[in-house]
Structure 1
């Protein structure tokens, strides 16, 4: 889900809901919205939508039924959606005199990037560039919505250990109800320790898992992509794990 706005006094000018339904069918609902008031020049410079563009597109009241039908009991994904898009949706629903739809869950890729400690700036553009995702028309609702979905898929692919649980576990992690991402899937103590490491390395279905320090919960294969210097440290004499053990696992996964 995505929609381009600037301030709390702004109104919808565009929205997009892109994804798939429970039966696997594609969802692609996108439209301009006539806010029935002038669109600030500063806003137009960002999202590229003018007053002429939205003329005849219908007010939010004419779109809210279709929007609510798709959002109700669905898993909604968006970038910074919790602090931005969702609050505007609530405001628009209040103005229209209708109840805000209740989704099954909200997955905010901005919050997720923070939880996963992905380094650098966490704007949608920067994160998409990190994962080689092309946004195309940045700040347009449909492009941003599609990019957010691809970003979530990319983060799940690069951090599989954090996505072992179900959607409720993920919600707990993002809302801080579960404390940390270690709640997802089997607990660290449930994983078999690697002999000779004092439990600092453990075995999971995804590979060898780090069970201590700042990268606790990550696999060695993830670390080689995300923080190769940390792997070098694990292979060094200063590592708390015998370098021979680490070296064997690293060599095996590279073969």
Structure 2
């Protein structure tokens, strides 16, 4: 089956130093770009994270400090990646919760303006969990009847994700072969920022999704407790989350 595309779509997977979106770094990124006519091209990069790779992370993906010692930093390849992904919708496996927020952080640290908010985001894991609830290896076996070799290799996981999505479209008649539909269907949340610290309530108002002000409008909190903004700006929060809160603060100021 060929995906019906209005825009090219890139499937990508990251291997990282850990799972903290704000502080961990990419050590490998693989991107599979599917053009509107169905042709494919892929790129895989080892990345020097400019920090030690913890042994527990290496045990999962097999990438060590020695493997990336001479690799380029993310900043060195950021503009090339942005050009390759420009104008594309984005697909991945567990990408909405982890890969997209972390990639957004890396682009911001590299000072490359790469806006993912206007793109359709298809999370194959969320489709799978809504339909079957298992892991990528199990999904690959279930949908494609293949064993996933080299699991936790970014390139293998990326290709498997793309194959699983096509198999899902063939298996479930209710799934539309349309990226806009798949993006909406595979998104469990209504995040304002990628990390889900700020979400929309049922009135489409931005509210905090954590801490003592969970469920309270961001504008209200910033007005009645100005110090909370400073605490967030100085805290261990993702850069994109800080940007979203700052934009809300500036919007309120400009409307006064």
TM-score, normalised with respect to structure 1: 0.63
Note the alpha carbon deviations across 1:98-154, whole angstroms, 9 max, x for none. Answer: 223436311101111133x22xx4221121121213321111111110000011011
Distance in 2 between residues matched to 1:176 and 1:36, nearest whole Å = 33
Note the alpha carbon deviations across 1:195-220, whole angstroms, 9 max, x for none. Answer: xxxxxxxxxxxxxxxxxxxxxxxxxx
Whether the 8 Å CA contact 1:68–1:101 is kept in 2: the answer is no
Which of 37, 42, 45 in structure 2 is aligned with 1:31? 45
- 1:73 paired with 2:87, answer yes
Distance 1:133 1:66, change over 3 A: farther
Whether the 8 Å CA contact 2:126–2:188 is kept in 1: the answer is no
Whether the 8 Å CA contact 2:123–2:183 is kept in 1: the answer is no
- 1:105 paired with 2:116, answer no
Alignment match, 1:90: 104
- 1:125 paired with 2:137, answer yes
Deviation at 1:176, TM superposition (A): 5.9
- 4+ residue stretches of structure 1 with deviation over 3 A? 22-25
- 1:147 paired with 2:160, answer yes
Query: Unaligned 5+ residue runs, structure 1?
Result: 178-255
- 1:7 paired with 2:10, answer no
Alignment match, 1:203: none
Whether the 8 Å CA contact 1:79–1:148 is kept in 2: the answer is yes
| SS, match of residue 87 in structure 2 | coil
Deviation at 1:91, TM superposition (A): 1.2
Distance 1:124 1:176, change over 3 A: closer
Whether the 8 Å CA contact 2:123–2:187 is kept in 1: the answer is no
Distance 1:93 1:135, change over 3 A: same
- 1:114 paired with 2:126, answer no
State the structure with bigger RCO (CA 8 A, min sep 6), 1 or 2. Answer: 2
Deviation at 1:68, TM superposition (A): 1.2
Note the alpha carbon deviations across 1:162-207, whole angstroms, 9 max, x for none. Answer: 215x322222323369xxxxxxxxxxxxxxxxxxxxxxxxxxxxxx
Deviation at 1:65, TM superposition (A): 1.3
Whether the 8 Å CA contact 1:89–1:100 is kept in 2: the answer is no
| SS, match of residue 15 in structure 1 | strand
Distance in 1 between residues matched to 2:104 and 2:129, nearest whole Å = 24
Distance in 1 between residues matched to 2:37 and 2:101, nearest whole Å = 29
Query: Unaligned 5+ residue runs, structure 2?
Result: 1-11, 190-256
Distance in 1 between residues matched to 2:37 and 2:70, nearest whole Å = 33
